[in-house]
Structure 1
Amino acid sequence: MAQKPDIYTRVTNKIIADLETGVRTWHQPWNAEHLAGRITRPLRHNGVAYRGLNIILLWAASVATGYSAPIWMTYRQAQALGGQVRKGSKGETVVYADKLRRTETDDKGEEREVAIPFLKAYTVFNVEQVEGLPDHYYATAQQMPEGIERDVAAEAFFAATGADIRHGGNRAYYALQPDYVQMPPFEAFEDPAAYYATVAHEVTHNAEVRIMPRRPSQAVAQLEVQSRMSA
């Protein structure tokens, strides 16, 4: 029986897969429609930010599923808050890291305390999968202030690239097939600069494919750096 990859291998594979499709798992400069959407790290049910490996795990989950809320909780935590996870919802794996301390006897017969690190995996759900929570868990974000105008020169530049740029949803990515760039609405971004930087990144992926349609897999990292520089 094949051995399941450990949690670190799973995260590494996820990041590589995201890079190959032009998705930056760790960066989202738009507010994603939720009041807490501009928080830089995923949050627990009590507002405390996740740390370490869990940040990447939950960012990746949000990108894959399109969740706009950055708040996560266990099944029991949802119940304690008066909520109920929707039937059929699939949770995401996060880990708890700690050290188990115990006393051992060394070769000299002396007792000493040793710390053994361990990881414990458990499952959490996004608040968008939970019904009946207090209202503030579902609070929507303020969009970009009205009156902010688009940059005419930037709009003309991206139009001239010939890229098919579509708007809607809360994900930004380049779809290799059928060859288009998907962007959240302009108003969902923190500011125009964040919007145009994201468009530049995704349009660069579009240009890369047209220039090198059969790019080797080992070139993915280099092309990602080029896309970042363009943004």
Structure 2
Amino acid sequence: MKTERFDIHQHITNQIIASIENGAGEFRLPWHRSAGNIMRPVNIASKNAYRGVNVLTLWAAADACGYGSGTWGTYKQWAEAGAQVREGERAAYVVFYKEIIVGSEHSDESETRLFARATPVFAAEQVEGYEAPTVEEPTTVFPPIEAAETFVTNTGAIVNHGGSRAYYRPSTDSIQLPPREAFVGSPTSTPAEAYASTKLHELIHWTSAEARCNRQLGKRFGDDAYAMEELIAELGAAFLCADLRITDAPRPDHAQYLDCWLRVLKADKKAIFTASSKASEAVAFLATLQGA
């Protein structure tokens, strides 16, 4: 009997779609739901943070199961760390790409293709024999919000204040934000955090310019290109908020894009991979502007 091949792209896309739809119409994606969960998932073996779509799928899995450690690893990695995955625990999946050289029947030339490889991982809450190390709060010169201000300043982006809308204006290559006093808090974020997350969202838009990341989505997404750019900015801001330890406040004005995002994700199983990859590229570009 032929078994159906596991499709990691479809699996992760379905997971993100379910997380959006389970919001019952509210604009609350997985990375908005857990107060205090403001760090990127980390691998137990390498100690490195996951990137791209793997951040989203692990945030969604952690939210669905109530995991808060943020530490993940394969069955083997946990064993090497002296821990044992409990029997019956269900894995989440991360994806890695492997380059494979493919030859042609009609030519001596070959080409390199990327193939997605699904890897099952388990959270620290799913294992026995592991005790999370005590992590001391980092002592920095700046408190978290000041760190965000410094991060934006180091990019050289022009930020103006005034009016009632937040947006990036390509014609002047500048970011426009409402006055600071216009921002209000929420049950999971302060007014200062709402201001910072909004500024970081617009900063991701700022990276779309040709001289920076040169994001051109129209060819693939057509009329949905603008909504996809908003999703990239939403993801990029979430990644930055996690790195800077800022609670990422939901953007109520972006609820209008939910139906569009769902339509695109359901039609194109690799759309969320593209959006998260572009968001990671934007964050990596901004990191290069931070100096030593």
- TM-score, normalisation: structure 2: 0.43
Counterpart of 1:82 in structure 2 is: 82
Paired residues for 1:30-41 under 5 Å: 30-32=35-37, 38-39=38-39, 41=40
Specify the alignment match of 2:42 in structure 1: 43
Written as runs of structure 1 = structure 2, the 5 A alignment for 1:5-44 is 6-20=7-21, 21=23, 22=26, 23-27=28-32, 30-32=35-37, 38-39=38-39, 41-44=40-43
Q: CA RMSD in A?
A: 4.4
Q: Go from structure 1 to structure 2 and tell me whether the alpha carbon gap of 1:219 and 1:133 turns closer, same or farther (over 3 Å shift).
A: closer
In structure 2, relative to structure 1, the CA distance for the partners of 1:112 and 1:201 (3 Å cut) is closer
Which residue identity does 1:42 align to in structure 2?
A: P
Q: Is the 8 A contact 1:74 1:123 kept in 2?
A: yes
Gap runs ≥5 in structure 2: 139-183, 198-246, 261-292
Are residues 1:112 and 2:114 paired?
A: no
User: Of Structure 1 and Structure 2, which has the larger fraction of its residues in helix?
Assistant: 2
Distance 1:90 1:219 in 2: 32
Give, in whole Å, the separation in 1 of the partners of 2:110 and 2:11: 33
Say which one has the larger Rg.
1
Residue type matched to 2:7 in 1? D
Change (3 A) 1:105 1:90: closer
Match of 1:227 in 2: none
CA offsets per residue over residues 115-149 of structure 1, 9 Å max, x none? 1221111210001111212541x75989xxxxxxx
Partner of 2:275: none
Q: Distance in 2 between matches of 1:16 and 1:105?
A: 37
How many residue pairs get aligned? The number is: 163
Q: Which amino acid aligns with 1:221?
A: D
Aligned ranges 1:123-138 → 2 under 5 Å: 123-136=120-133
Deviation at residue 220 of structure 1 after TM alignment: 5.4
Shift of 1:10: 3.1
SS at match of 1:98: strand
CA contact (8 A) 1:81 1:134 kept: no
**Cα displacement string for residues 187-222 of structure 1 (whole angstroms, at most 9, x for unaligned residues):** xx6x56559x99x969x8xxx9xxxxxxxxx99538
CA distance in 2, matches of 1:101, 1:4: 22
3-state SS of 2:70 partner:
coil
Shift of 1:12: 3.0
Letter in 1 for 2:43: R
Cα distance in 2 for partners of 1:131, 1:79 equals: 10
Cα deviation for residue 76 of structure 1 reads 0.8
Cα offsets for 1:25-49 (capped at 9, x unmatched): 23467434xxxxx32x211112112
Identity fraction in percent = 32
What runs of 5+ residues in structure 1 fail to find an aligned partner? 33-37, 143-153, 159-182, 209-217, 223-231
TM-score, structure 1 normalization? 0.53
SS at match of 1:26: helix
